[in-house]
Amino acid sequence: MSKITFIGAGSTVFAKNILGDVMQTPALQGFEIALFDIDAQRLNESEQILLNLKKTSSSTCQIKAYSDRKEALRGAKYVVNAIQVGGYDPCTITDFEIPKKYGLRQTIADTVGIGGLFRNLRTIPVMLDFARDINEVCPDALFLNYTNPMAVLTNVMNTYGGVKTVGLCHSVQVCLPHLFEHLDMDSTGVKYKIAGINHMAWLLEASKDGVDLYPEIKRRAAEKQKEKHHDMVRYELMLKFGYYITESSEHNAEYHPYFIKRNYPELIERFNIPLDEYPRRCVNQIEGWKTMRESLVNDSNLEHCRSHEYASYILEAIETNNPFQIGGNVMNTGLITNLPKEACVEVPCLVDANGVTPTYVGDLPPQLAALNRTNINTQLLTIEAAITGKRDHIYHAALLDPHTSAELSMDDIVSLCDDLIEAHGSWLPTYK
C-alpha cells in the first residue's frame, strides 16, 4: 500500500481540504493516509473528520493516526508538511510585541521582516529533524511544503536536508482570477505567466487572443486607487514598477521599505494597511474553531468538494502520468537567470510521472529582479544563521531586511534581535 504522510495534521481544516481532495481523486484510492501531530487532541479530531469524509466519499484510502513521527513517515511516497512551530502563543505574540517596543510595526510577519526571520530560526531545526527521519525511512519521498516562510524552508530542505522538496503557495493560482474579478474584467481564456520568488512573484504576462491586457489592467487599477480598497499596496507597486505581484497587499506592505513608516503615519491610512493583521486572524481562528469543532468532528455525514489546492493534483499527475502545471517553489538551477543560484524561486512547473519539472524563465525585468533580491538577501543570511549557529548572521539578515532597516538604526536592530533571541528562549537553538 502506498502512503501519504501529513505532518501537522492538527491543522484540521487544512488537513481536511488536502486529504479530502485525495479521497476525491480516483487515482489515489487505496493509499494509506498517515497523520502526525504533536497535539494529540487535534490529531484525534483530524482523524475523526477524515474518517467521516472517507465514509461519505466511499474512499478506499486507509486513515491512520500516529504518535511516532518516524513511524508515520516510514515508507511514505509523499509527505505533506503544514506545521507551525511555536503557534500563536507564545511565538507569534513575541514576534509582534517586542518589535513594537522599538516602534517597528508589522502586518503578517510570516515571510521576511523581523517576524519572518525569527519564524524561520525556530522552524528550520524542526524541518531538519524531519529531513533526518525522511532520509532514514522514506528517502525517495516527495516533500510538499505548505509551511511559511516558504522560500527559506523549501531551500533548506533541498540544500541541507537532502530531501526532494517543492514548496506550494495559494497565491499563484488565485492571483489572476482575483485581480480580474476586482477590476471587473473577464479572465476566461486569458493566458498568463507568473515567476519570481514566493509571495513576490510577478504576473509577467496577461493576454487574450494575442492582445496584451496590461494597459487595460493598469488603467482600471489607477481608477481603483482613487478610493480605498483591499489591494492598494499591490496596485501601487504595479503602477510604479510595471507588474502585478502575487501575494496580498497586507503581506507586501511589510516586504518593502515604502509603506509602513513611523515618520509617515498617513501612509497607513492612505494605503489601507491592516497593522497586526495576523494576530487578529489567529485570535479569530482560535475562537472560530471552538464552534466549528463540533460541526466537523461529530458530523458523520460530512462531505467535501475537491479544492483548488495543488497537492492532490500533483499526486494524481505523478500517479497517472497525465501532465498538470503548477506554480512551484524550487531551487534556482538557472531558471531565473538574474536571481542568485542559491535562491529558492517560484516558477511554472510541469508535473507528470517524472515528478516536478521546473521550467526556464530567463531574466526578469531588471526592476523586478532587484526587488526580489532585497528579500533574497535576508533569506540567504537567515539560512546562514540557522546552519552555522552564528548570531552575527541573525544581525546581518535583519540589517538587510527592507522594512526593518528602513525604520530602525543599526544599533536598534541588533538590540531588537538580542531581545527576540532572549524572549524566544528554548524555542531557538543556542547562537554563538
Q: Tens digits of per-residue pLDDT, 68-78?
A: 999 999 999 99
pLDDT in tens, 142-174: 999 999 999 999 999 999 999 999 999 999 999
Of the candidate ranges 52-61, 222-231, 286-295, the one whose mean pLDDT is the lowest: 286-295
The mean pLDDT value for 394-412 works out to 98
Q: Is 251 annotated as a binding residue?
A: no
The mean pLDDT value for 5-19 works out to 97
> What residues form DSSP beta bridges with 65?
35
Q: Which of 196, 308, 213, 187 is nearest to 247 (CA)?
A: 196
Q: What does pLDDT average to over the chain?
A: 97
pLDDT in tens, 339-360: 999 999 999 999 999 999 999 9
Q: Is 349 annotated as a binding residue?
A: no
pLDDT confidence of residue 375: 98
> Which 3-state string (H, E, C) describes the chain?
CCEEEEECCCCHHHHHHHHHHHHCCHHHCCCEEEEECCCHHHHHHHHHHHHHHHHHHCCCCEEEEECCHHHHHCCCCEEEECCCCCHHHHHHHHHHHHHHHCCCCCCCCCCCHHHHHHHHHHHHHHHHHHHHHHHHHCCCCEEEECCCCHHHHHHHHHHCCCCCEEECCHHHHHHHHHHHHHCCCCCCCCEEEEEEECCEEEEEEEEECCEECHHHHHHHHHHHCCCCCCCHHHHHHHHHHCCEECCCHHHHCCCCCCCCCCCCCHHHHHCCCCCCHHHHHHHHHHHHHHHHHHHHHCCCCCCCCCCCCCHHHHHHHHHHCCCEEEEEEEECCCCECCCCCCCEEEEEEEEECCEEEECCCECCCHHHHHHHHHHHHHHHHHHHHHHHCCHHHHHHHHHHCHHHHHHCCHHHHHHHHHHHHHHHHHHCCCCC
Residue 355 corresponds to which cell in the numbers above?
515528478
Q: Choosing from 170, 251, 393, 424, which is the catalytic residue?
A: 170
More confident of the two residues 298 and 321: 321
pLDDT in tens, 103-151: 999 999 999 999 999 999 999 999 999 999 999 999 999 999 999 999 9
At residue 150, what is the residue type?
M
Residue 1 — pLDDT band, cuts 50, 70, 90? confident
pLDDT confidence of residue 301: 94
Percent of the chain with pLDDT over 70: 100
pLDDT confidence of residue 40: 97
Query: Per CATH, which fold does 3-86+103-167 belong to?
Result: Rossmann fold (3.40.50)
Percent of the chain with pLDDT over 90: 99
Residue 33 — pLDDT band, cuts 50, 70, 90? very high
pLDDT confidence of residue 345: 99
Looking up cell 493576454, which residue turns up? 207
Q: Which of 185, 190, 220, 219 is nearest to 206 (CA)?
A: 190
pLDDT in tens, 237-276: 999 999 999 999 999 999 999 999 999 999 999 999 999 9
Answer whether residue 10 shows pLDDT above 80: yes
pLDDT confidence of residue 295: 87
pLDDT confidence of residue 178: 98
pLDDT confidence of residue 122: 98
pLDDT confidence of residue 294: 86
pLDDT in tens, 184-198: 999 999 999 999 999
Any catalytic annotation for residue 170?
Answer: yes
Annotated domain spans of the chain: 3-86+103-167
Query: Would you state the torsion angle of the CA atoms of residues 289, 5, 71, 139, taken in this order, to the nearest 10 degrees?
Result: -140
Q: Is 282 annotated as a binding residue?
A: no
Q: Which of 169-173, 289-293, 360-364 has the highest mean pLDDT?
A: 360-364
Looking up cell 531565473, which residue turns up? 336
Q: Which of 430, 427, 431, 406 is nearest to 114 (CA)?
A: 406
